[in-house]
Amino acid sequence: MTQTNTAGQSAGVDASGHDPQSRKDLPLLLMGALGVVYGDIGTSPIYAFREAMHVRPGVESSSSEILGLLSLIVWALTLTVAVKYVFFVTRADNNGEGGTLSLMALARKTFTNPPAWITVLGVMGAAMFFGDAIITPAMSVLSAVEGVKLVAPHLERFVVPITLVIILGVFFVQRFGTAKVSAVFGPITGLWFLVLGFSGLVHIIDYPAVLWALNPYLGVEFIATHFSVSFVVIGAIFLAVTGAEALYVDLGHFGRKPIVIVWFALVFPCLLLNYFGQGAFVLKVGMENVDSPFFEMQPEWAIGPFVALATAATIIASQAVISGTYSLTQQAIALNMLPRMVVRHTSETQSGQIYMPQINTMLMLGVLLLVLSFGSSSALSHAYGIAVSGVMVMTLSLLVVVMWRNWKWHPLAVIGFGIVFAVIDGGFFAANATKLFQGGWVPAVVALIVAVIMASWMAGRKRLSEKTRRDEVPLQFLVENLSKKKPTLVPGTAVFLTSDIEGAPTALLHSLKHYKVLHEQNVILTVRTSTSPRVNDDEKVIIEAYNELFSRVVVTFGYMESPNIPKALALGRKLGWKFDIMSTSFFLSRRSLKPAPKASLFRFWQDRLFVRLARNASDATEYFHIPTGRVVEIGTQVVL
């Protein structure tokens, strides 16, 4: 056999290395990152300090208590977001892509036989992000719309209906793509952060003593003197850093450079100014006289416009997790952790910008149900946090593996980094776990359902592969026999898709059994997914010639690429392979799956779940972009 690597032009996907930060349109990427990535964390000032005040112990108000709460918020932002995520986690990109599954793939690369616990961490982190994805839009929009009560108290009964209408609009515009959405959201978010900073600065100038909260000792002292309720307080403080996890998942949409620049140039300073401003306002008027410092510290004439701007900002906040969920789902599908779903690319230049209608619909229904069930942001805040803090713990666990195995850090440095942030992230997770029965069970249940689906899909695929491999004839054996005793040959090329690189495709065996003919050219095609998000064209296609009748083609796509088989096969023309789509037939094996009749209770429901997921998966013809008029499907039954 001969083996050749192709070199060619793009196969319909971005194989250029996907380095958006090297593009000349950096200003557009900066504006896009501002609108999509930081919308979530940018709305935290609406409710974070408010909830921290509400859960404080029932003792007399004092400046040290307020400064202690403020110090905890400031240093949580600094250590968790600025240091851990922006400085370290965003460096752990897998060829430009971020998210728990990208981090998992990066960690797995360094092992010959990757340990199962790395996959488990990746699955758990991804599942928890899905749990967070239905909470964030509901929490963000509700908290802003509730500001209407300050302007017109009689409109309180319309808060939930208004929120539902806004959320429907947010999910409706997703089909237009991240680029078009961020073009609108970016300027609004920029204005939002400037207003945040200015409104806070006014009160800091009025009460500069609030800057004592920069002293981390005040935060530590607060925890030490209020130890009995420290978990409750830390759970409220954590609301200030929610959105950091979406920052990493959205890395593939804009690149690291725009995300880092926007954080340090605008987002971080404005967040600090606003939190300090809220603290200064509360110190001046007294904690007992304040219910919602974010809105109440504004001049009376500005409350109406401020509520309107806050509502717009919270709509934008939802975009970070929605875009992140699309990216995470696409990665899971390519890594065979979820069944195939429809993926629509919404940008000609940024292949990471996608829209997934099925995920969009499921998220929308989940968010609407949460708004109707909880009815207020205060009630929903109990459900907020457990999934986000869980994602952060999983991210930290995988990050230390990458630091040790990929970055070659000294073990002592890895251990030191891990201990410091394990204390922080572990504390946040433990604090939010105390809210499990107050609403925290909602994202936990969503995460559990997603984890069960992913685990069942992977286990089912493994059993199906083993079953198919046992029943298939070795390809080499079949090729040798057919070369000695050739059946009737018909003109044209037949492409047989198979996931097993050693066995003869089921579709080929059944074609010979029933039709008794063979095409003049027969291609055994296997599609593989790389641990890298994208594969260069010169590494995408490998052709192995068995004889004049048979050849094997292995096409490798990155896990962030949309697999387009006809365009990938066209790369073979550079090798002299005469590929003509109009004279080519694609033979696919459509399996009718049946659960094992005699199985344990666990295996019984897992098999049934896998069969149901397989039936609802997107059609292979559509997923691989094969022209429907060139496809022949041959059905078989397989008992798992």
C-alpha to C-alpha distance for 132 and 345, rounded to whole angstroms:
24
| Residue from 309, 229, 267, 307 nearest 38 by CA | 267
**507 found inside a domain:** yes
Kindly state whether residues 444 and 319 are assigned to the same domain. yes
Which of 403, 430, 459 is where one domain is finished?
459
Kindly state whether residues 415 and 528 are assigned to the same domain. no
Kindly state whether residues 239 and 328 are assigned to the same domain. yes
pLDDT of residue 336: 86
Kindly state whether residues 519 and 587 are assigned to the same domain. yes
Kindly state whether residues 102 and 250 are assigned to the same domain. yes
pLDDT of residue 18: 42
pLDDT of residue 15: 32
pLDDT, mean of each 10-residue run, the chain (640 residues): 36 36 68 81 88 65 84 94 92 83 89 90 91 85 81 82 90 74 77 94 93 92 83 87 82 83 94 94 85 87 84 77 83 87 69 79 92 85 83 93 93 95 93 85 90 91 79 81 85 87 82 85 87 79 85 84 84 73 85 76 84 82 85 78
Question: Are the C-beta atoms of 143 and 47 separated by less than 8 Å?
Answer: yes
Kindly state whether residues 310 and 168 are assigned to the same domain. yes
**Domains held by the chain: number:** 2
**99 found inside a domain:** yes
Q: What is the three-class DSSP state of 107? A: helix
pTM here is: 0.77
**263 found inside a domain:** no
C-alpha to C-alpha distance for 472 and 165, rounded to whole angstroms:
54
Question: Are the C-beta atoms of 345 and 357 separated by less than 8 Å?
Answer: no
Kindly state whether residues 312 and 423 are assigned to the same domain. yes
**276 found inside a domain:** no
Kindly state whether residues 339 and 408 are assigned to the same domain. yes
**110 found inside a domain:** yes
pLDDT of residue 625: 85
CATH number, residue 337: 1.20.1740.10
CA 68, distance to chain mean position in Å, is: 34
C-alpha to C-alpha distance for 493 and 428, rounded to whole angstroms:
59
**71 found inside a domain:** yes
pLDDT of residue 285: 87
Strands 541-545 and 550-557: antiparallel
By CB atoms closer than 10 A (0-12, 13-18, 19+), residue 415 is: middle
C-alpha to C-alpha distance for 235 and 598, rounded to whole angstroms:
47
Question: Are the C-beta atoms of 283 and 54 separated by less than 8 Å?
Answer: no
Kindly state whether residues 455 and 478 are assigned to the same domain. no
Q: Name the CA dihedral angle for 88, 90, 92, 93, rounded to a multiple of 10 degrees.
A: -170
**92 found inside a domain:** yes
- State the residue range of the domain holding 440: 37-194+229-258+302-459
Which of 424, 459, 494 is where one domain is finished?
459
The angle that helices 116-145 and 303-334 make with each other, rounded to 10 degrees, is 160
Kindly state whether residues 448 and 494 are assigned to the same domain. no
Which of 397, 424, 459 is where one domain is finished?
459
Kindly state whether residues 403 and 436 are assigned to the same domain. yes
pLDDT of residue 318: 78
C-alpha to C-alpha distance for 453 and 612, rounded to whole angstroms:
11
Kindly state whether residues 452 and 501 are assigned to the same domain. no
**18 found inside a domain:** no
